[in-house]
Amino acid sequence: MSYFDLLPADLLQHMLLYLDIPSLGALSQTSVPKHGNISDLATRDETWLRITNHRFNLFSARRMASNNISRPKLYGGSNWKSAFRTMSRSGRMPKMNVNFKKKAIFAKGFSYKTQNHHFQQDAFNNDMKASKSSHHYKEQFLACFVMINHTENCCLRTSPNTMISDCNSDVSNETLSEMNYIELQVAFQNTKSGFTTVDIDICNATIQMQTPEGYIAQRAIRRGPLAPKVIYKNSKTSCEYLDDEFNNTISLGPFEFCILSINVPLTYYANQQELIHFETDFLSRALSLIVPATCHIVERNDAMIMDDYEKEVSNKTLLTKNSYQSLSIATFVDEHEIWENYMALPGNCLVLIDKRD
């Protein structure tokens, strides 16, 4: 008998929620599956249902308790293990318990664990091309989804230029009385399970904007009333609705996700006296959102150490905490996908298309 056989089944099933996915797969192969042992619990559909719901937040706690859940075929798999794999590969956004107004995802991307420890995009892109050829989804640790806090008439927001200049050192104080900006609602999720935390440096987020000369990197506003704010954060026990000013970084535990509000000024186009008024004008020029992120993961290392009791060298497994710096690059959708969410009206007006109807 193993040590797992000495523990009750309900305690073993609770322990499985704290394991990462590779460790869970290893436990399913430790012994011949039989009723109640660790290998049987690791392969049960109920276990993978709880893990899938923890990652994608599909069902409420009340529905889980009453077993009022949908079939896994609706989520792309014959069982919940295959459904989890399908939704992970497709980059599905977790279900939010917040009623966002006509939410639509205009950009989506991931952070990958690479060997690049600096924030050069060219080197990062080379690592991305190399990782895509060999199941790069296994190296993902942070998912990013970009939405817009829409206005009633789909116009860009305006603020006094002096206010934006005082809040952002990258904005020059020009003679313009007002400056256009857009409020983005960016959702992040730590896609790793187990003992992994992700730090998001949202204050250094940049938007790559298309220009006639190529592209520019426009920083988000970092200070003042228009600084980044945490408007939604999900934890293991409850959902927190926050509206406090964002300071440095935000940390996400395993499978945790949050929504941050950032404001991006359109200073380049204002200085070039280029007229842009609507959200579609911004979306047609936006290329990608780039956010620095750091992954802290506890990894196992097999080391040769000296045993003080037996006075000999032996193999032992040590747990070490390693950090990986990377970039979360969310690429914006094409022009025709943008207009699937908007409709032009006579009189140079725009309205949103509510796909929920």
| Rounded (10°) angle between helices 80-90 and 45-56 | 30
Give the model's pLDDT for residue 222: 85
Most confident of 123-127, 177-181, 309-313: 177-181
**pTM of structure:** 0.82
Residues 6 or more apart whose CB falls under 8 angstroms from that of 26 comprise none
pLDDT tens, residue by residue, 252-298: 988 898 999 999 998 888 777 777 889 999 999 999 999 999 998 87
What is the model's pLDDT at position 156? Answer: 92
Question: How far, in Å, are 161, 207, 222, 354 from residue 168 at the CA level?
Answer: 11, 14, 6, 34
Comparison of pLDDT for 137 and 106, the residue scoring more: 106
pLDDT band at 145, cuts 50/70/90? very high
- Beta-strand (E) ranges in the chain? 107-112, 140-148, 157-160, 178-190, 196-200, 206-211, 214-219, 229-234, 239-240, 244-245, 250-252, 257-265, 286-307, 312-332, 342-345, 349-352
Least confident of 20-24, 96-100, 220-224: 96-100
